[in-house]
Structure 1
């Protein structure tokens, strides 16, 4: 594995990344909440891209992995700025965004902000608008009060240590919702979702499919796959989806 490289962003953050040169479109992996660029899916896709001679980029949002900052300080808007910074500074021409969980939301924000740069999009257990529809909508009155008084709440996770969710994350998330207004996606989109996912429901995946305006959008439901979506079969499905989108883009 190559050494990590760092990008200093216009916002003063220091973002860690790995960029593999190759033919375009460049595949950009957008990780999930509290995940890092050394996760199974990101590294597997990088190896797959290298074997094909495909350009590939993976990176850590601020407050994640090797990048500067702390998770508790961050929010959806910060991570959108990070995504924009690495795509604008490190890639040229069309890109294929691959977004996992929160990265699926980030991929949709990237597509909304740079529609002319996107050749295709692949999501894995995409979680658009989760700060509002997942967290806030299900908070108890006690949790909402804790946000006001303590500025944060702690939420358990089935996959890692508890999440610290800040008042800033909830409030900032409302500025970046993608399911309330029209969402035109004028390129091929492939969505993957496990039916045993306890973090993102199949209803979320179906809601995105129904809401987006896209001439070529498909959702694949995988029976018994969980939120990690990282076993051999699931990784193969991600490869196939990315390869299909690239082939259409070319």
Structure 2
């Protein structure tokens, strides 16, 4: 009976990343709704009655967080500079495709920026672990997807830094196929460390991290579909390259005087 239910899900997920992200998000949500104490158990591993969330005082964990914030920002800046340079240097199309650069930048804007930070973190009101009475704070613990109304802004559900950590997997679009396997494991290690760091600091629960990953994956998968060869809007990679070339040529005609 279970095989009859699970096998079609697995088969469909392999062919449809959007469907896979939806299934994973649903499964994670169900897991933490059925086992809410799992969040408390994991956070308690990093909590001491005498020192609180002791990792916040650790030089290593502090530096790790700074890396997790700085690295994605530098990469985003590099992508933006590439898109500008690509307008005036068509030969750069051999380095990175416009489609992949746009997928990464729009995932940050629509996924991490809009969905995670503006919609969920600012309106769901889930108190961070360090703010809950379980760990010495003032607010009660609330479950995933429950609009609690405790924290007013920049709350726990879901994790913005967790979302940016998962976003690093999008860099696999830019890596040659022969390097993707080793690149995947390197990114997995760093993304996991950056995300685990937020739990160790008492800033987020495990569910905040994992759901930020799956929701970011959902946004990335949707954008990948929109900018693929099967784009329902006609935004295929080749059309985007052509549009960028035309935009660059128009800008050059306006800014560069004829010889």
Same fold (TM over 0.5): no
Indicate the TM-score class for this superposition, using the shorter chain for normalisation: under 0.3
| Structure with max Cα Rg | 2
Structure of higher RCO (CA pairs closer than 8 Å, 6+ residues apart): 2
- Between Structure 1 and Structure 2, the one with more helix by share is 2
Normalising by structure 2, we get a TM-score of 0.25
Normalising by structure 1, we get a TM-score of 0.26
